Chains A and B, each alone.
Chain A
Amino acid sequence: MSSARWFTLIGALFALACAVSGALYFASRSADFGAHALAVGGIGEVRHLDRLLSEQVLAARFGLSNQYDPLTATELELVRAEGELHGSVGAVATTPDVDRALRALDRALAERRSALEHFKAENSVLKNSLRYLPTAGEEVAAELAANGKAALARDVNVLVRATLVYNLIGDQSTRDAHFAATERVRAERAELTGSAASDIDLLLAHARVIGERLPSVDGWLKQAANEDLSDRLASLENLYQTRFSESAARANRYRQVLYAWSLLLVLAVALAGLQLKKLYAGLERRVAERTVELERARDALWGEMQLARRIQEALVPREPQLRGCDVAASMRSAAQVGGDYYDVIHTKTHEWILIGDVSGHGVPAGLVMMMCQTAVRTALERDPELLPDRLLVLVNAVLTENIRQLGEDKYMTITALRRDASGSIWFAGAHQDLFVYRADSGVVETFETAGLWLGLRPDAEGAFELRELKLGVRDVLVLHTDGVTEAMRDGALFDTTGMRRILAGAKDKTAGEVLDALLHALDGFDLDDDATLVVIRQLEAAPKNTRPSTTPPPATPRPTAP
């Protein structure tokens, strides 16, 4: 299996392990003991309030409390606690039977609250009549006795006592006695008129209230203080505990599975580690093999580069000399050999200086350079009187054909300069600008070069313009390749400005010193390409009677300030 497949497989297994671990973790968390504590606490609070409410209802019924504020406050607390129970129980157990138990608890509470309100209202009415009956009975009995109705007065007192005893005992016999006493007074009242009759009516009304409301109040009391809510709560608690225990057991099972799964994962990780170690060893071996291959390739390439460099070094003149001139030259090679070319050739009648640059790098560029050098020397050998423009036409024809045969996409910039015995320098061909320092004025003149690049098309007739420049005594001519002007430091080019600045200080310097100054200024710049410099200083005046075999038009220099 390839290493990519291994990695994919291990990644997929890791994702699967994470998913399974996550699912097991959440399943094992289903028994949330914090929420359980809340639910149990909530059930306990409802139970406590339920009991407290029952006690308070009984206290209100039997006169231990004369107001309903505590009762009402407990009722509202119970409603709150019961409402919160939905949340706390629901957070742990969400089964349908628990929901049903909660709804049953809701109904029990609603029924209890309704009974409580009826109890409060009825109990108040009962207590009012119980409070008033003895007072009213006493007043009515006294008034009746004063009016000679002692029998009725006695029956009124009997009614009051029977009613109070009925309130105390509440059984059937005391109830019968109460109604019998009421009927007796009601029967005797028929014989009365006036205020005595209305007073007895009032007394009978309160007796009736007590007779009717006592069972009613106790009925509501039984509902308001019954154990229905408590029973519902117990059912809910049992159900909840059962569901929670199931949930906890399930969570424990998942936890055990999680532990086993964790052990399995540890083993799997260990196995995966061993497999990865094997993979790593294989990878290391392959890296070592590839490294060897790369080193071989590098060495082969390096050999090629060395060859290119040797070609370049073999073709450029080691100590170029010109009559009556001080000459210094330098070629600095970049890391990757470029195609810089310069040459100084002496024929019978003229001296030639050539400078150029082949596009690209390496052996192909070196070959083109060699071809160019050979073509130039052959052409001059055959016709020493050639002018530079004609020379370049011939060289271009040869070079273009050879490049085509090589199958390389190459071209070459070149400027050919022919120095006549008279001191005139005729030049043609497109390369870098020529710089001439005029010793008598201190001005640095720039001569632009123009023409067709060699190797682009075979026929270059008329493509080169012949121009002339003259050097006075102590004038300095500098030729260069683009490696010099395109050298960079901190994002800035050395440029021709740098060259002119150095050249402007060339007044009393030898060609070597000018060259050294230029090279020193280049220190610290990065060379991405070969950098070639040729410095020619005119030492003595040329004889004035010598003329070239042909007389091309003079070139017009473009003077520039230093």
Chain B
Amino acid sequence: MKLERLGVVALACTLAACSETKSSAPRAEQRAGAAPTAASREPLEALPDVPPLDPKIVALGRRLFHERRLSADGSIACANCHDLQRGGVDGQVRSTGVGGKQGAVNAPTVYNAALNFVQFWDGRAATLEEQIGFPVTNPAEMATSFEHVLAFLKADPGYASAFAAAFPNGVTEANARRALADFERTLLTRDSPFDRFLAGDEHALAPEARAGYETFKSVGCVACHQGRNVGGNMFQRFGVLGDYFKDRGNVTEADYGRFNVTHNEADRFVFRVPSLRNVARTAPYFHDGSAATLAQAVQVMARYQLGRKLSDDQVRSIIAFLQSLSGELARAGEKG
């Protein structure tokens, strides 16, 4: 399709793009890959169901997720930094790994991570299975190797039998990755007030939260934080309408973001847009953990990403909306 042929379409649609979004009516869930329709105009969608998974593999993944003995000194499990009782994070600016070493960036939540289009702040892993290898071998995290991990799993009768029950070929690196990834695929926090609102429950959102949703769309947050995961489906430069890093100072290599993966100058200071689901539980915020509260985070985003000033009322209502994105943690991980 040639660009020129879309001139008429462009004229018609630009007006829509320039106008503030008004509607918040629930929308039919859009099928992935389907052609865009009128029903897809809503920028946010409810969380999908957990896909059908083998319960034995999921149970094994849950066990591995909490297994400290996978780390070099037996002190760090995945769950240390991704505490499932605390929103899938540890509440620290930077997490502590083996030997007290500090990570380079703030630990992202594992909840709903399966819906992110890439993993990590810099998007260096395309899949959950690929992602799992990084913390295992990172010297500032679990500081071990898959040789060590596999040797431990094979020597442990409980794990050896659990792997044999879940996989025809027993303990392998691919199977360990698959088990952990499948467990993470069950960590979807459904039934948030906002999801219930999208499903048609007009009373699920408090008036302030509903107003916050409108503000969230109208001031432009939704330009990046959109889709079923309210983010997590694109990259964006941190500091579009202001130089965040110059103002913050003390720039580190980790601040280069996507550049560290592609070495493309256009990708310097570019990060995966984080999901805002459960954001009220995952302070501190940003890759550097520099925002301790949601209010600080919203104001930084307004200044450096949106290039606009937000009133206190707008900030409060946006925060109320963000709080409505907190889903059911206890039920996440039960299915599968």
Which residues does A use to contact B, with CB under 8 Å? 49, 51-52, 54-56, 58-59, 61-77, 114, 117-118, 120-121, 124-125, 127-136, 164, 167-168, 202, 205-206, 209, 218, 221-222, 225
A-B pairs, 7 with minimum CB distance: A73-B32, A63-B13, A128-B220, A63-B17, A69-B227, A67-B226, A66-B43
Which residues of chain B are within 8 angstroms of A129 by Cβ–Cβ distance? Answer: 307
B300 to chain A minimum Cβ distance, whole angstroms, is 15
B307 and A68 contact, CB distance less than 8 A:
no
Select from chain B the residue with minimum beta-carbon distance to A170: B10
Report which of B41, B43, B44, B219 forms a contact with A132, defined as CB distance below 8 A: B219
B252 to chain A minimum Cβ distance, whole angstroms, is 22
Select from chain B the residue with minimum beta-carbon distance to A164: B18
| A58-B6, A202-B309, A209-B240 known, 9 other contacts, Cβ within 8 Å | A64-B36, A64-B41, A67-B42, A70-B30, A70-B36, A128-B223, A132-B306, A164-B14, A218-B3
Which residues of chain B are within 8 angstroms of A135 by Cβ–Cβ distance? Answer: 20
Report which of A62, A69, A131 forms a contact with B30, defined as CB distance below 8 A: A69
Rounded to whole angstroms, the CA-CA distance of A552 and B237 in the bound complex is 137
Which chain B residues numbered 67 to 115 have a C-beta less than 8 Å away from chain A?
A: none
Rounded to whole angstroms, the CA-CA distance of A120 and B227 in the bound complex is 13
A279 to chain B minimum Cβ distance, whole angstroms, is 56
Number of interface residues of B (CB under 8 A): 52
Select from chain A the residue with minimum beta-carbon distance to B240: A125
Rounded to whole angstroms, the CA-CA distance of A125 and B32 in the bound complex is 24
Which residues of chain A are within 8 angstroms of B240 by Cβ–Cβ distance? Answer: 125, 128, 209
Can you report 19 A-B residue pairs in the complex whose CB atoms are below 8 A from each other? A64-B9, A67-B42, A69-B233, A70-B36, A70-B40, A72-B233, A120-B234, A121-B235, A124-B236, A125-B236, A128-B306, A130-B14, A131-B223, A132-B308, A164-B14, A202-B309, A206-B241, A218-B3, A225-B1
A67 and B20 contact, CB distance less than 8 A:
no
Rounded to whole angstroms, the CA-CA distance of A66 and B37 in the bound complex is 11
Rounded to whole angstroms, the CA-CA distance of A68 and B7 in the bound complex is 21
Which chain B residues numbered 252 to 287 have a C-beta less than 8 Å away from chain A?
A: 262, 264, 266, 270
Q: Is B59 an interface residue (CB 8 A)?
A: no
Rounded to whole angstroms, the CA-CA distance of A125 and B44 in the bound complex is 18
B327 to chain A minimum Cβ distance, whole angstroms, is 18
Rounded to whole angstroms, the CA-CA distance of A225 and B1 in the bound complex is 8
Q: Is B330 an interface residue (CB 8 A)?
A: no
B241 and A62 contact, CB distance less than 8 A:
no
Which residues of chain B are within 8 angstroms of A56 by Cβ–Cβ distance? Answer: 35-36
Which residues of chain B are within 8 angstroms of A120 by Cβ–Cβ distance? Answer: 233-235
Which residues of chain B are within 8 angstroms of A52 by Cβ–Cβ distance? Answer: 33, 35
Which residues does B use to contact A, with CB under 8 Å? 1, 3, 6, 9-11, 13-14, 16-21, 30, 32-36, 40-45, 117, 218-220, 222-224, 226-228, 233-237, 240-241, 262, 264, 266, 270, 305-309
B181 to chain A minimum Cβ distance, whole angstroms, is 15
If A69-B228, A70-B33, A118-B266 touch, does A168 touch B14 (CB 8 Å cutoff)? yes
A67 and B306 contact, CB distance less than 8 A:
no
Rounded to whole angstroms, the CA-CA distance of A77 and B14 in the bound complex is 29
A512 to chain B minimum Cβ distance, whole angstroms, is 85
Rounded to whole angstroms, the CA-CA distance of A452 and B276 in the bound complex is 118
B14 and A63 contact, CB distance less than 8 A:
yes
B63 to chain A minimum Cβ distance, whole angstroms, is 29
If A55-B35, A65-B41 touch, does A131 touch B3 (CB 8 Å cutoff)? no
A68 and B1 contact, CB distance less than 8 A:
no
Select from chain A the residue with minimum beta-carbon distance to B234: A120
Rounded to whole angstroms, the CA-CA distance of A125 and B264 in the bound complex is 19
B36 and A68 contact, CB distance less than 8 A:
no
Select from chain A the residue with minimum beta-carbon distance to B229: A69
A168 and B10 contact, CB distance less than 8 A:
yes
Which residues of chain A are within 8 angstroms of B33 by Cβ–Cβ distance? Answer: 49, 52, 70, 73-74, 77
Q: Select the residue from B20, B30, B223, B227 with max chain A CB neighbours within 10 A.
A: B223
If A70-B30, A121-B236 touch, does A58 touch B308 (CB 8 Å cutoff)? no
If A62-B14, A131-B20, A167-B14 touch, does A124 touch B3 (CB 8 Å cutoff)? no
A72 and B309 contact, CB distance less than 8 A:
no
Report which of B10, B19, B45 forms a contact with A69, defined as CB distance below 8 A: B45
B41 and A124 contact, CB distance less than 8 A:
no
Rounded to whole angstroms, the CA-CA distance of A336 and B218 in the bound complex is 121
A130 and B266 contact, CB distance less than 8 A:
no
Which residues of chain B are within 8 angstroms of A64 by Cβ–Cβ distance? Answer: 9, 13, 36, 41
Select from chain B the residue with minimum beta-carbon distance to A221: B3
B219 and A62 contact, CB distance less than 8 A:
no
B14 to chain A minimum Cβ distance, whole angstroms, is 5
Q: Select the residue from B17, B30, B32, B226 with max chain A CB neighbours within 10 A.
A: B17
Rounded to whole angstroms, the CA-CA distance of A301 and B219 in the bound complex is 124
Rounded to whole angstroms, the CA-CA distance of A222 and B2 in the bound complex is 9
Which residues of chain B are within 8 angstroms of A130 by Cβ–Cβ distance? Answer: 14, 17-18
Which residues of chain A are within 8 angstroms of B305 by Cβ–Cβ distance? Answer: 128
Rounded to whole angstroms, the CA-CA distance of A360 and B308 in the bound complex is 127
Rounded to whole angstroms, the CA-CA distance of A225 and B10 in the bound complex is 15
Select from chain B the residue with minimum beta-carbon distance to A57: B1
B189 to chain A minimum Cβ distance, whole angstroms, is 17
Rounded to whole angstroms, the CA-CA distance of A23 and B176 in the bound complex is 44
Which residues of chain A are within 8 angstroms of B13 by Cβ–Cβ distance? Answer: 62-64
Rounded to whole angstroms, the CA-CA distance of A225 and B11 in the bound complex is 19
B307 and A124 contact, CB distance less than 8 A:
no
A55 to chain B minimum Cβ distance, whole angstroms, is 6
Rounded to whole angstroms, the CA-CA distance of A56 and B35 in the bound complex is 7
B30 and A59 contact, CB distance less than 8 A:
no
Rounded to whole angstroms, the CA-CA distance of A49 and B33 in the bound complex is 8
